[in-house]
Structure formats: structure tokens, C-alpha cells
Amino acid sequence: MRRHDLGNRALARAAFAQSIARGLGDSPRWLSCRYLYDAEGSALFEDITRQPEYYLTRTEDALLAQHASRLRARAGAATVVELGSGSSTKTRHVLRAWTLDGQRARYVPVDISRDMLEASCQTLEREFPSLEVRALAGTYEQAFARLREFSPLMLLFLGSSLGNFDRSDTAAFLERIADSLSAGDHLLLGLDLVKDPAVLEAAYNDAAGVSAAFTRNLFARMNRELGTELDLDAIEHVAYWNESRERIDIFARFTREAVIELPELDRSFRLAAGEMVLTEVSRKFRIPEMTAAAARHGFEAVETITDPDQAFALLLLRRRPATPVPSTRLVAQRLLGRARARTLELVAPLTEEQLTRQHSILMSPIVWDLGHIANFEEQWIRRAHDPDGRRDDEARRRDHLYDAVAHPRATRAGLPLLACSHCGRYLEETREQTLSALARATFPAHDPLLAGGFVHAMLAQHEAQHSETILQTIQLMDDITYEPPRRREPPESVGPLAAAEVMVPAGPFLMGTDDRRLAYDNERPAHEVIVPRFRIDRCPTTNHDFLRFVEDGGYRRRELWTAEGWRWRLDANVAHPAQWLQSSDGTWHERAFGRLVPLALDQPVIHVCWYEADAYARWAGKRLPSEAEWEKAAAWDLERGTARRYPWGDAPPSPELANLDQRTFSPAAVGAYPLGASYFGCHQLLGDVWEWTSSDFAPYPGFVAFPYAEYSEVHFGRGYKVLRGGSWATQPLVARNTFRNWDLPQRRQLFAGFRCARDA
């Protein structure tokens, strides 16, 4: 946790600037309430809690004083963990009850401010001699990963702080808490209740003007930390009851035009006179709705405590035993079933001849891919379930025939491959054996092949990857118009994006993953990488951009190419991307699955090799991103200090988020997936086109080959370049921020494009 401590001043400043750019770049504009609480803001908030109109803290404090021992009786001698502990004042009532008569107890305050934690730890240990204090400095999200260590526990989230999230964030927050707690752990929420709007509005518009000073301090903080020169006298505090959303909305209203410059991000925002920026929401709760929401996230209500005026509530919840997740067996069956259905669907329109012929020396005949899928499955199921089982000669012959290392792609057509019908039977029979082994399988934690269904997920991923290879082969067939059984139009672009690039600040991030269920060995282990500040394009390079390079003589200008790139360019004798064609009247078309279509200028360029991407980047005065830069731009949430599984978060891919899953048969226009943007605001990082990076394929520090060296290890240091992100032809099962693909720099058959980066 310490490593990503946002207490580091430079990092905290960068996160603040980034957050402002995210909020002011949005419509309507907002600013994150996280940043209201610097030292000055926290002091002002303490002052708010003492104002006569602000009843919340007083009421909650009285409820805790009166009912702490009851809570102790209900929750048992659990460790008390508190989110956003601040100075831990209200918590003293709880700690008093927990340490009554010298009972030993443990308190784990979580706060972003290390200074605050150190000060309050010392005082608390002095005040409560039988209390062990274990502070966690970091964001809530970082703390969630550690909660299991402290179970049985009672997690406190007091002060109605849950009200400062908007509705979707509340649900996500509850879900994350539920995931991090163990069955039987408790959650104590302090909740301000819906009441007379006049009382509520007064609480956020105190007569002494402290609330106004609190809002204004956000801009004073910008002036202090980011060097903006805002006139604070021209900023008004506006807070009123939003009836339909049952919350107080708090705005900063600019009485004069103002400009917020963020030079480190190359961003500048003009705020018009009269413009209001949302700085905070403070939602008010109804107990039945809240207990229902908690129930949806796996909590049962244990106790509800309110004051006589029903102004405020303490809601004690208990984590129910996790609802049984679909069993490992069921998941394995589903993954394997889906991958197989897709393979068969994709090859269904092809004739025997098309399946058997070698269409390009770069690709296998498709029957080889099919036989290899079956053989790979046959071998791994045997290794997982019957490692000592004997292989007869026939089986060994099959193993040799479909050995990808022994037979390079160009030679595979010459092998005595199974005919299509035999191959179909081989796939079917192998799958029957797999499913019957699966029906009897256990998944012992000590067996890395079987634990969590690893080997079955690996087989499904392997087949999913081959389905993309098969699509590459079909794209290279010159005698067919391929009509897929199912096709979907991608969404339309929401229009040009405001900035062409985003700035990613310097600092550490966690690259890779420790996941052992789905991730490949080359994605492991998660490790800290420090990347200097850089700029990266918000979208992949489009056909429009690439055409400008072509028309500017990009393929003729030696100075734009590396020595090897130029050699390739001369040998291959190319002057445009692999599937482009120019008509005699000068117009450009693109060949896609046997169809000639006008070149779609707003789509990412596709079927370019690394050399072409590299030359383009040089022409544009940029460079390709390293894979660490790509992954940071895709995965890192600077404010939470955690990595996302997908650019948009942890929710699985869907057709609104990314162009994946072999349905569109083409990249989508840039700007078509605003909901899929990453924390830093990059679009279309997953799906559409694989993106070439500047990096050579190499192991991460601490890499261990598993379960076989031929997947990754034998390819390290062999001149392969890494691609990231996945294309429209990638199945969601193999699309994630940490996934690494690789190929030689001259290869153009991949559904690959790129985006550029540059130093900042």
C-alpha cells in the first residue's frame, strides 16, 4: 500500500490536476469532492460540524455515545476498521465500548493522510491502553484489498459520507465492500435521512458562511497547489435541495468569466460568467430503500438505530455468506462451450477446399488450426487428469502433426493432415472426453493446473485465440466473399473528441497481474513500474491520418524509417496498408473479407506492420508507446491507486463499451465508444485494432513459465514486438488490460493498427 501512497506530494498534485481535467472536460461540469479535504478544507469541515444548522455530526455522535455497547453486543469482538477516519473523534465512543474493562481490541483507521493517521494513532494508543492501532495509509480502494486480513471485522463508514457518492458510485462501492468482506463481517453506515428541505438547505448554507468557505477552498487549493490564479471573490457557493434525486446539490457559481489553466496537462478551461460547476452532492437516505440496496449486495440488516426526530440513522449490516458463485465446473463448461460454438460458426460458411488450402505462407490451412485445437485439448486434459496415462503410437503421431513448434506455418500444408470430416470428429470426440473428465474433476488448490479451473480456461482461451487466427486467414483468401453467419453494426461515433492527446503524469503504477485463473504466465507477476510523464493519443490512428502520411510520400521518405524497416519496405515493395487499393481515379478502397468498400476515413487504420506504424509515428513527430505506457494509460486509476481490469473499470465487456467479439467485421469509427474510455480519457484501447507498441516481447521481472514454455518463454528475445488491446476479432475472454500479444515487426495479417505517444 505504501508504494502507491498518494501522500506523495507530486503524485497527489498530479491526481488533483487529472481529476479537474476529467470533471471540467465533461458536460455538465463537475469537480470531485475528494479534493475538498486538504488541511485547510478538513479544518473548515470540522468547523461546519460545529455550526448550529449542521445537525448531522452532533446527532450521529449522540447515537454512537448511546448505542456503542449495543453495537458491540451485536457485532462481537471484531476488529474495528474505519474508512476515512480523519481524526477518529466520533469513533472514540465505539473504541470505548470495544475496550471496556481493559478488553483487548484492534482498530484499523484508513485514511489518505499519513500525517493525520500518525497523529491520531499516538493519541488513541495513549487514551486506550488495551487498543492495538494498525493504520492503513491509502485510498479506500487500496484498503479493500487488505480487508480479509482483519476479519472478523466491523467496517465503519460514518458521517453519511456514502451520500457524497452519486447513485451509480454508491452501488459500485457497496459491491466492492461486499467483495472484500468475509461472511459474518459487519458494516456500520451512518446515514443522513430525507427530511424537511428547509432543514437540509440550512445545514448546507450556514449563516456564518463556513460552508461557502469550504466550497471556495477547493479553488483556493487549486491556486495553492496548481498555480491557477482564480479570483475567489468571483466564486459563490450555491446549495439547494434536488427533489427528484433526494440530495443536496452543491455548486461553485462563477460570477465573472474565469480560466482554469492546467499547463502540466496542456489543458485550459474557460468558465463563463454565471456558469455553475457541481462540486459535491450530499444524498439523503430512506432506511427501507437502503436496506433493500444493501440486501442486493449481500448484506442483511442487523440493527437500525435512529434519533427520536428520525434525522439520522446508524445502520448495522452483516455480510451474508457469499451467494454460491457458479461452480468452477459450470464456468469451465460454459467457457469451453462458447469457444467451440464460435469456432464452428466461423468455419461454417467455408467449403472443404477453402478449409484445406494454404492461402498464405503466413497462415496454416484452417484444418490444421482445427486439428491443433483438438490436439492441444487432448494433451492438456490428459496432463491435468491422467498425467501417467500411456499414449499410443497413433496419439503420438497426432501430437507431432499438430506441434506448432515442430512445423512452422509455411510447411503445414504439406503435412498428412486429417480431412475436414475427420477433423470435425476429432474435435467432437476430444470434447466429449474433456467434458466427461470435467464432470468428475475436483479443483484442488495445490494443483496449479486444476485450481480454479485454470486448464479449462486456458483451453477456452487457446481456442478463442485460434478463432482470431482463422479470421486472419479468411481475410487473406482472395477468392471468396465471406458472409459471416452473424454481423452487427458498430455504434456511430459521438463526434470528434475534444483533445487529440491525453497527458499521463509521471509516477509508479502496477503493471501486469497476479491472477492465476485466467491470466497467462507472461502477464505475471504484478510489479511496480515507474513511467516518466508522457502524452498518448486519445484514439488509434485513423485511415484519414494514415492517408495523409501516404500522400505526403511517407513510403518513399527513407528518413522516416529504421534501417530494417526500410529494407522491409523495399523488399516488400509496398506503398500503403495491406488491404488498401487505389482506383484509377485516385479514390481509395479497402478489401474486407472479399468485399471492396470505400476507405472509411474515421476508422482506425488496420493491417499495418510495426515498421509502418513506427515510420508513421516519426512522420507525425511522435513515437509508439512502450507497452508500460500503453498499460498505464489503459489500466491505471491515479486517484484510487489501483489498476482496472478493462479501460472502463472492472465490468465485463459489452457492445456499448468496446468493439470486440467478432461481430462487426471491421473497426468502428473513432469516438464510437465514449463509455469505454480509460481513467485518463483514452478511447478504444480494447477492441477495434490491436495496437503495436515500441516494446520487444520480454519477461516481466520474476516471470515463471507456466504451464508450458512454448507459449511465451521460447518467444522472448526473438525480435517480436508486443501488441496490446485486442481487435474487433478478439473474443472478450482474451481481452484485458494486461493481455500481451506479439508478432514480428513485418507482419501485416494481424488486425493491427496503433496509436502514437510522445515524451511530455
Q: How many CB atoms lie within 10 A of CB 208?
A: 13
Going by C-alpha positions, the residue among 464, 436, 437 that lies closest to residue 520 is 464
Of 56 and 222, the one with the shorter C-beta distance to ligand AVI is 56
State which residue, 163 or 641, has the beta carbon closest to ligand AVI: 163
Burial class (CB in 10 A: 0-12, 13-18, 19+), 574: middle
Q: Nearest to ligand AVI by Cβ — which residue? A: 282
CA–CA dist 173, 179 (Å, integer): 10
Shortest distance, CB of residue 45 to ligand AVI, whole angstroms? 6
Name the residue nearer to ligand AVI (CB basis): 211 or 541.
Answer: 211
Nearer to ligand AVI, 214 or 697 (CB): 214
Cβ–Cβ under 8 Å, residues 303 and 267: no
Using the minimum distance from each CB to ligand AVI, give the nearer residue, 84 or 674.
Answer: 84
Annotate 102-127 with three-state secondary structure. Answer: HCCEEEEEEECCHHHHHHHHHHHHHH
CA pair distance 741, 720, nearest whole angstrom: 10
CA–CA distance, 323 with 276 (Å, rounded to integer): 44
Q: How far is CA 652 from the centre of its chain?
A: 9
Cβ proximity to ligand AVI, 248 vs 346, nearer residue? 248
The length of the chain, given as a count of residues = 760
Amino acid letter, 264: E
d(CA 75, CA 79) in angstroms, rounded, equals: 10
β-strand partners of 504: 534
User: DSSP letters of 53-84?
Assistant: T--HHHHHHHHHHHHHHHHHHHH-SPEEEEET
| Cβ-based nearer residue to ligand AVI, 99 or 211 | 211
Shortest distance in whole angstroms from residue 441 CB to ligand AVI: 50
CB of 26 to ligand AVI, least distance (A): 21
Query: How far from the centroid of its chain's Cα atoms is residue 637's Cα?
Result: 8
CB of 636 to ligand AVI, least distance (A): 27
Rounded least distance, CB 1 to ligand AVI, Å: 23
In the complex, minimum distance from the CB of residue 292 to ligand AVI, in angstroms, rounded to a whole number: 22
Smallest separation (angstroms) from ligand AVI to the CB of 604? 43
273 vs 451: CA distance, rounded Å? 61
The enclosing H or E element of 192 equals: strand 186-192
Please state the three-class secondary structure of 23-39 as a single string.
Answer: HHCCCCCECCHHHHCCH
Q: Tell how far CA 273 is from the center of its chain.
A: 37
d(CA 526, CA 430): 35
Residue 224 C-beta: closest distance to ligand AVI, Å: 20
When the beta carbons of 211 and 727 are compared against ligand AVI, the nearer one is 211
Identity of the residue, 167 or 400, whose beta carbon is nearer to ligand AVI in the bound complex: 167
Beta bridge partners of 690: 752
For ligand AVI, the closer of residues 282 and 659 by Cβ is 282
- Give the nearer residue to ligand AVI in terms of CB position, either 191 or 613: 191
Coil, strand, or helix at residue 502?
strand
- Distance (Å, rounded) from C-alpha 237 to C-alpha 48? 14
**Cβ–Cβ < 8 Å for 1, 136:** yes
**Which of helix, strand or coil describes residue 680?**
coil
CB atoms inside a 10 Å sphere around CB 671: 18
Give every CB contact of residue 2 below 8 A, 6+ residues apart in sequence: 137, 138
Please, what is the minimum distance in Å from the beta carbon of residue 285 to ligand AVI? 12
Closest approach of ligand AVI to the CB of residue 190, in Å: 9
Q: Which is nearer to ligand AVI, 86 or 745 (CB)?
A: 86
Closest approach, Cβ 311 to ligand AVI, in A, equals 12
Asked if residues 325 and 517 have their Cβ atoms less than 8 Å apart, the reply is no
Secondary structure (3-state) at 186: strand
Minimum separation from the CB atom of position 38 to ligand AVI (A): 14
For ligand AVI, the closer CB: 83 or 350: 83
315 three-class SS: strand
- Looking at residue 681, its amino acid is G
Q: Which residues bind ligand AVI (CB under 6 A)?
A: 48, 56, 159-161, 163-164, 204, 211, 214, 280, 282
Which residue, 161 or 182, has its beta carbon nearer to ligand AVI?
Answer: 161
Q: Which is nearer to ligand AVI, 204 or 376 (CB)?
A: 204
Residues 6 or more apart whose Cβ sits within 8 Å of residue 192: 56, 160, 163, 282, 284, 285, 311, 312
**Nearer Cβ to ligand AVI (53/179):** 53
Q: How far is the CB of 315 from ligand AVI (least distance, A)?
A: 15
Among candidate residues 623, 608, 624, 618, the one with its CA nearest the CA of residue 575: 608
Report the candidate in 526, 525, 466, 529 with the shortest Cα–Cα distance to residue 706: 525
Q: How far is the CB of 262 from ligand AVI (least distance, A)?
A: 25
End-to-end CA distance of the chain: 28
Three-class HEC string of 352-394? HHHHHCCCCCCCCCHHHHHHHHHHHHHHHHHHHHCCCCCCCHH
Nearest to 536 by CA among 695, 686, 687, 754: 754
Report in angstroms how near the CB of residue 312 gets to ligand AVI at its nearest.
11
CB of 167 to ligand AVI, least distance (A): 15
- Judge whether 747 and 714 are in contact, CB under 8 Å: no
By beta-carbon proximity to ligand AVI, the closer residue of 282 and 749 is 282
Distance of closest approach, residue 280 Cβ to ligand AVI, in angstroms:
5
